[in-house]
Structure 1
Amino acid sequence: MKSKKKHIIVYTAPTVAHHYQYASSFAELNLLKDFVTGATRFSSKQKNIDSKIIPYKRSHNIFSALNALVFRYGLDFLKPYTRYLMSLELDIATRKYLKDAKIVMMYSGCGVYSIREARRMGCKSVVEVVSTHVNDYLECLEKEADSCGIKPIGMLTALKERMILEYREADYILCASNAVRDSLINNGISAEKIRMVSYPMPQFKRKKVANLDEDSRGSQFNVLFVGQIHYRKGIKYLLEGFVEARIQSSLLRLVGPPSKSSGVNLNQLPTNVEYLGKMGATKLQAQYEWADVLVLPSVEDGFGLVVLEAISYGVVPVVSRAAGSAEIITDRENGILIEPRSSVSIAVALKLLENKECRKSLQRNIDSLIDQINGKPSLSKSLSDLVDSIL
C-alpha cells in the first residue's frame, strides 16, 4: 500500500453478507475509521462484530429494523417504503462520521447526502453497486412480473432518483461482476470511474470434496435453492423445471424469506418440494451439507453469493446466465449454466446431474475452482489496491 495514513475510511452498509468481510479487511489494514451499519441490535451478524477490531457505529435503526421485519414476513406492499426510509436513515447517520476521513464508501441508494458532504470536506466517495443499473433492474423486474401475472413490487421513484444521482456524483463506483459493470457502462456511466473487486470465498468450515464419502449424501437426489422467494430469483421456472425433470427419489428444498410476489403458491407445492423458510447460518450450513445441487435460476442477479457458499461445500452449482456468479462457472466442468426464464434448461441440467458419476466429475473440479478463487489476490490486497487507485 502506498498510503501510510491510518483510519481514513468510513464504510457504510446494511445487513448484507459480504460487507462484514470488507469491514474486517479494512480494519486489518488499519484503514477503517468507522463502520456504519443498519444492522439491528437483534442481528446475529451484529453480535459477531468485535468492536475492538472494527470501529462499529450503529445508525438509528428504526427503519432498518422495520425493513428487516417487512422482508422476514413477506409484506411486499411495504417494501418500497421501508427500503427507501432505511436508505435515508443510513445516509443521514453516515455524514456525521466523515470528519478526518479520506474515503467514504456506501451501499447504492444510501449515500447522496454523504457524497455531497464528502465533496465539501475534500473526501473521495465510492458507491457500491451490487445489482445491474437501476433502469435495467426495474425493466427486468417489470417484465418478469408481467410474465408471472402479478403486480411488480417496484421501487419508489425517490429511491431510483437517489441511485441515479449517486452514479453521477460519486467519484467512483465499486462492483463485483462484469454483468453489473457492463450494465452501468451501457447506461452511460464512464468505465473510468468503475472499480472491480471480486467477492471472497465465504468463511465456512468445509470438507474437501475429494474427502467426501461417496454415499455421505445418500441415494436421494437433493436439490437446494437459497435466496428470497421472489420472482426475480426465477422460482417459478425452478419449480416447473424440477417437475418436468421427473427424477425418481428426488427432493427440492427452498430456503429463504417469503414474498407474496414470488409467482408461486408456497401452500400448494408438489409433494417432493419443501419450503423451509429463512434460516440462520448454522441451519443453512446443514442444508448445504445435505444438498447435491444448488440451483440459482435468477432472471436478474448482480452476483449471487449463494453460489460461492454452495461450492465451498462441494455442492454442484446450476446457475442462470443472468447472474453475475455465472462468470466464475465453466459450463459442464465445475457446474452447469442455464438460460434464464427456461424451465426446460433447468430440467435438462437436473436430468444430467441425476447421474452420480456426472456429479462426481464436476465435484472433483470444484476444488480446483475454489483454489483458483483463493489464488486471486486476497480481499485485503484487492481493497488495498482499490484505496491506492483512489488516493
Structure 2
Amino acid sequence: MHKTKRIKAFYPNFFRDKLISYVVIRLVYFFRNEIVESDVMGYCSKKGFDKEIYEKLTVNDFVGTRSKSKVYYNAIPPGITWSIIQKIFSIKQIRSFSEWCFFMSLQKGDIVYLWPNASLKLYYKLKTSGFIIVSERINTLLQTSHQILNKEYNRLGITPQEPFSTEEIAEELECMNLSDYIFSPSPSVTESILRVGISQSKILQVSYGLEEDEIIYNENYKSSKTTITALFVGTICLRKGVHLLLSSWEKANVNARLIFIGNISHEIANLFSTSIKNLHNIEHIGFVDDLNPYYKGADFMILPSLEEGSPLVTYLALGAGLPSIVSPMGSGGIIQDDVEGFVIDPFNENEFVSAIQMMVNNSEIRNKMAQNSVNKAKDYVWEKVAYRRRELLFSKLSNLHKDPNLKKEN
C-alpha cells in the first residue's frame, strides 16, 4: 500500500479573482491522485468564492475523484469583511498571522509549495524544521525585472513606478537559495533565476494553462468576418510594451482595428489618451470579467511585453485560435516563431510593423497559425499541466530520496 504524500501550498494573498487565485487552486487540485493529497491556504476569500471555484473545477475534472476534500483554506474566516481587516491590520500583520496558521497545519514529511511574497522568515522556519520547499516564480526575478524596467524608464525620461528596493531584491534571492526546487513557467523566468547564480538542478521548467472550456476556436465564425481585429489584454503600461505597440500600430497603417482590454497605468496615460484621439482604429474597453467574447471576436493577439513570466492571456489566445505577435517575454515560452505567431524583439519596430501588416493582409498565414494555436492549446489544459508538474517534481524527489512511492504512475 502506497503511503500518502501531501503537498501543502501557501498563497500569500486574498482569494478574489479569476487570475492567479484560480491558477493556484487549479494546480493544487489537479496535483491530486490516489497517493497525493494537496490543498492551499491563503489569507481570506471573497463572498461566493466557494461556489465559483467548485462549479468550475467539477466541470473540468475528467477523473471525478478529486473533490472529496476541500482544495483551499482561509487563514482568516471568510465571513469577516476584507476591507475591514485591512483597516485594522497591516498587510504585514495579515501575512504573519496567515503564515503562522499555515505552519501550524503542516505535518512531518509534507512538501511545502510557496507562492511569491511568502516571507523570508517563513522560509527560514520551514528550512530549519526540515520541510522540502518548492517555490513558484510567476514573473522574472525582481533583479531582472528591476533592470529591464529601469532601463526603459530612463530611456524615456520617466520616473520609475514603485521601484523595487534593494532589500526586496535581496530577500527574494535568499528565498530562492533556501528553496529545494523552483517551478519556472517560462525560459525567461529560468534565465533570470540562473543569472543570480541559482543551480540549474533546482529549476523545474513548467508552464501555466487554460480550462478545457476556454478552447473556444470557431473557424466558421472567423472566416465570415469582414473587419480584422487585433487584441491586447492586460494592464496598459510600459512593462507590457504598450508605448512600443502604439508606435508600431500607427506606422503599420492597416485597415484593421486594435482593441485594448485592461486598466491604464499612470505612467502611460497621457500617451495612450493621445493615441486614442489621433488614431481612429484603436478602441479601449477597460477591465472586463468575461474575456471570451473579445477573444472570439478577434483575429490575432499582440503582446510586446518587456517583462513577463508566462502570461495567461497568451494561453487564452491559443484556446481561441488566435495567432500572436509577441515579444520573447510575451510568448511565455509557448508561442513558437512562425508556428503559432511571430516572436519579435519588442524594440525591433520594423519587424513588428511588418508582422502586423502580414497578419492583417494574409489570411492564409493567419488561418494556418490559428489552427496551430488551437491544436497546441489542447496540450495545456490544467489537468495535463498539473500532471506534468507533479511528475517532474516527484521524479526529482524520488531521485533525491530513492522513494518508490514518488515514481511515476503506471
Shorter-chain TM-score bucket reads 0.7 to 0.9
How far did residue 36 of structure 1 move?
1.1
Aligned equivalents of 2:222, 2:263: Cα separation in 1: 32
Answer yes or no: is the 8 Å Cα contact 1:36–1:56 preserved in 2.
Answer: yes
Answer yes or no: is the 8 Å Cα contact 2:183–2:204 preserved in 1.
Answer: yes
Pick the aligned partner of 2:25 from 20, 23, 38.
20
Answer yes or no: is the 8 Å Cα contact 1:132–1:301 preserved in 2.
Answer: yes
SS of structure 2 residue aligned to 1:23: helix
5 Å matches for 1:50-61?
Answer: 53-60=69-76
Aligned equivalents of 1:94, 1:374: Cα separation in 2: 29
Q: Which moved more, 1:162-171 or 1:269-278?
A: 269-278
Q: Which moved more, 1:134-143 or 1:38-47?
A: 38-47
The answer on 1:106 being equivalent to 2:114 is yes
Aligned equivalents of 1:59, 1:376: Cα separation in 2: 27
How far did residue 99 of structure 1 move?
3.3
User: TM-score, with normalisation over the residues of structure 2?
Assistant: 0.79
Partner of 2:265: 259
SS of structure 1 residue aligned to 2:239: helix
SS of structure 2 residue aligned to 1:94: helix
The answer on 1:188 being equivalent to 2:200 is no
Aligned equivalents of 2:365, 2:230: Cα separation in 1: 15
SS of structure 1 residue aligned to 2:127: helix
Aligned equivalents of 2:389, 2:136: Cα separation in 1: 15
Partner of 1:41: 46
How far did residue 344 of structure 1 move?
3.1
1:139 alignment partner AA = Q
Partner of 1:165: 174
Q: 1:95 to 1:148 in 2, by over 3 A?
A: farther
How far did residue 140 of structure 1 move?
0.5
Percent identity (aligned): 22
Answer yes or no: is the 8 Å Cα contact 1:145–1:151 preserved in 2.
Answer: yes
Partner of 1:178: 187
1:246 alignment partner AA = N
SS of structure 1 residue aligned to 2:143: helix
Pick the aligned partner of 2:324 from 314, 317, 325.
317
Task: Give the RMSD, CA atoms, in angstroms.
Answer: 3.2
Answer yes or no: is the 8 Å Cα contact 2:230–2:257 preserved in 1.
Answer: yes
The answer on 1:293 being equivalent to 2:300 is yes
The answer on 1:122 being equivalent to 2:122 is no
Answer yes or no: is the 8 Å Cα contact 1:175–1:197 preserved in 2.
Answer: yes
Residue by residue over 1:311-361, the C-alpha shift from the partner in whole angstroms, topping out at 9 and shown as x without a partner, is 101111111023352x32232232111212344332211100112232112
Residue by residue over 1:155-178, the C-alpha shift from the partner in whole angstroms, topping out at 9 and shown as x without a partner, is 244432321110111222111222
Answer yes or no: is the 8 Å Cα contact 1:27–1:53 preserved in 2.
Answer: no
Answer yes or no: is the 8 Å Cα contact 1:236–1:263 preserved in 2.
Answer: no
SS of structure 2 residue aligned to 1:231: coil
Larger radius of gyration: 2
- List alignment gaps of at least 5 residues for structure 1: 70-81
Residue by residue over 1:126-180, the C-alpha shift from the partner in whole angstroms, topping out at 9 and shown as x without a partner, is 1111222321111111112223332112124443232111011122211122221
Residue by residue over 1:81-135, the C-alpha shift from the partner in whole angstroms, topping out at 9 and shown as x without a partner, is x987876665455323223451111113314233222223321111111222321
5 Å matches for 1:196-207?
Answer: 196-207=205-216
Answer yes or no: is the 8 Å Cα contact 1:102–1:122 preserved in 2.
Answer: no
SS of structure 1 residue aligned to 2:159: coil
SS of structure 1 residue aligned to 2:135: strand
Residue by residue over 1:30-50, the C-alpha shift from the partner in whole angstroms, topping out at 9 and shown as x without a partner, is 634541124641585884247
Aligned equivalents of 1:264, 1:204: Cα separation in 2: 38
Answer yes or no: is the 8 Å Cα contact 1:109–1:166 preserved in 2.
Answer: no
- List alignment gaps of at least 5 residues for structure 2: 56-66, 402-410
SS of structure 1 residue aligned to 2:285: strand
Partner of 1:332: 338
SS of structure 1 residue aligned to 2:158: coil
- State the number of aligned residues: 368
Aligned equivalents of 1:267, 1:86: Cα separation in 2: 38
Q: 1:245 to 1:38 in 2, by over 3 A?
A: farther
The answer on 1:232 being equivalent to 2:239 is yes
SS of structure 2 residue aligned to 1:261: helix
